[in-house]
Amino acid sequence: MPDVLYFNGRFTTTEERVLGVEDRGFQFGDAVYEVFKFLSRRPVFIGDHFRRLQRGLQAIEISEPWTEESFGAMARELLARTAFDDGIVYVQVTRGEGERSHFYSDHMQPTALAYSRKFRFPDETKKEHGIRVITTPDLRWRHCDVKSVNLLANALAKKKAQRAGVDEAILIADGSVREGASSNFFAVRDGRIITHQLDEHILPGVVRDHAIGLALDAKIRVDERPLRDTELFDMQEAFITSTSMGVMPVTEIDGRRVGNGRRGPITTLLQRQFDEAETK
Ligand code: PMP
């Protein structure tokens, strides 16, 4: 069944071929995107996702197609037209369509689209057993804080993980751990959490932010700093965070067990509290 699609102010389905071949999103990856989750047709943390989209558009000087209000109204109508209750919404804004040239006009009309899609979120068994990961060099550009659609390096890293029979690739640069190919990465050592600080090397994950808040509320210390790759094998727990996975334990890195190879107590606590926060 085709998905419900919002495209430049109207609703259609993903069956319609809406995009021009000279759209800069297609030609140059000149676009940013968002993915948010909905549960019982209610968008989860939509304000956080809208603000990140807005920051990304401002960073690459694409004009903003929505205000927070009109974005919310679009999302509500999209979900009202959607045939199922839980899933994800993919949103993309490109600089727009125009004759292909590296030089772009300052006055382009952005292309704005969003569609809802069914998504199988991890079940209790997966959440308990967690995932295995590999490490791989971070080959991305130097503005990873912008959620750009240029995901080639991420996709190649993800493929490498898939070929290794694991779920995620953890990206390493200059001897330190940055984040996952589609997630943020956290280590737990001696009762403290360590995760990369917000800068140009990582995406400011919405779940990352909530997980840190929950940890601080629980009086768990959080050190935001680069984790040396050598530290990867000297910790009791590890987890990743993302909209689609929530808080997900990491039980094995490059074939070596993390801690005792089971979901640890801090990960379990944050996972439970995060799942609860999503439904509030
Ligand atoms: N880092 C990268 C590179 C990602 O692609 C994602 C998922 N979009 C994340 C982190 C997690 O972000 P969020 O928690 O907002 O889904």
Angle, alpha carbons 222-226-230 (nearest 5°): 110
pLDDT digits 0-9 by tens, 201-246 = 999 999 999 999 999 999 999 999 999 999 998 999 999 999 999 9
**pLDDT at site 280:** 86
pLDDT digits 0-9 by tens, 184-198 = 999 999 999 999 999
34 CA distance to ligand 1 middle (Å): 9
pTM: 0.98
- State the alpha helices, DSSP H only, in the chain: 24-28, 46-59, 68-81, 124-129, 152-163, 206-217, 265-279
261 CA distance to ligand 1 middle (Å): 24
Catalytically annotated residue among 37, 127, 147, 158: 147
